[in-house]
A and B are shown apart, each in its own frame.
Chain A
Amino acid sequence: MSDPKINFRPNVDLPVTSESTPDQSTPATPASGGISDITDSLESGAGNVDSLREIYQTAKAQGKLLMSEGTLNHFLQNNMKPHQYPEAFSDLKGWVNNNFLLNEDQHQQVQALTAQDVQKVQDAGSLAAKLNIPIKLSFNDADPTNTGPKAITFREVQEPKPDPGQLSPAALLFGSDCGAGAVSDKLQQVSAELKKQAE
């Protein structure tokens, strides 16, 4: 799967459409397998789960998804084909707003995207479409010391790596991380090993 590190500030998963105001500083916990591990990260447990349940229903009623890095990537990888990225990203802000229920903070971040940020995502989407591989976006805080609303930044859009099924023969021999340098290094290594054996 491609991972073009398009960095996005960490979002908070709870949109503002609920009457309750969940703690917006609480990120989701890493997955650990159980259905409701996320409750561990919610300060008041069941109350916040109830809020989330309500927000989820709101999102569903609007035909939208809750926004988090996980849901965004899950959607990009499981519900879209790579060839659909360029069209979706051609109006990135509109696409996000149309498909995801955003809280106020997330909404501001999306609006704060610069033309350059958008272009990076579009370029990554085009590349992923060309290579027919799914894309993964990473959220990253632009400035961890900034306690106010933070701009979404997209940094270091890396070329997606092909899926194993699309690897070149060299990649199949030497692993997926097979840039020209890596292949050359590996060849030298193999050559050295062969020489040793011959001696």
Chain B
Amino acid sequence: MTIQERAFAAIAKGCYHDVDKIQLDSTLDDIADDSLIRLQILFELEEEFKTQIPDSVARETKSVREVIENLTTLLTAAKA
């Protein structure tokens, strides 16, 4: 599975949506208008990628596309 597919699955799990409802261009507001649910999405992403997403990054992440970009950056940095 690609990072995008794994991220989509984690986001879907965190917000109780079907994965096919998650789109790259969706904002997190579109997906979940509740902050607790967005936090659940964060937990699912952290669990899936076995990484801690810094709070500063999480706060600035507004869209699914940014989630993927930030995760890719974090995972690349962790490998280096």
Choose among B27, B36, B38 the residue with the greatest number of A CB atoms under 10 Å from its CB.
Answer: B36
A146 adjacent to chain B (CB < 8 Å): no
Partner of B42, one of A35, A46, A71: A35
A31 and B16 within 8 A (CB): no
Query: Which secondary structure characterizes the binding site on chain B?
Result: helix
Q: Which residues of A contact B67 (CB under 8 A)?
A: 35
Task: Tell me which residues from 41 to 62 in chain A have a Cβ below 8 Å from any Cβ of chain B.
Answer: 41, 45-46, 49, 52-53, 56-57
B59 and A31 within 8 A (CB): no
A78 adjacent to chain B (CB < 8 Å): yes
| Interface bin, chain A | 20 to 34
Q: Which residues of B contact A31 (CB under 8 A)?
A: 29, 32-35, 38
| Interface bin, chain B | 20 to 34
Q: Which residues of A contact B4 (CB under 8 A)?
A: none
B36 and A28 within 8 A (CB): yes
Beta-carbon nearest neighbor of A75 in chain B:
B16
Q: Which residues of A contact B53 (CB under 8 A)?
A: 35
A71 and B59 within 8 A (CB): no
A33 and B36 within 8 A (CB): no
Q: Name A's B-contacting residues (CB within 8 A).
A: 13, 28-39, 41, 45-46, 49, 52-53, 56-57, 65-66, 68-71, 73-75, 78-79
The contact sample of 26 A-B pairs, CB cut-off 8 A, is A28-B36, A29-B35, A31-B29, A31-B33, A31-B34, A32-B35, A34-B60, A36-B38, A36-B39, A36-B59, A38-B35, A38-B39, A39-B39, A45-B55, A49-B55, A52-B39, A56-B40, A66-B40, A69-B34, A70-B32, A70-B34, A70-B36, A70-B37, A74-B32, A75-B16, A78-B16
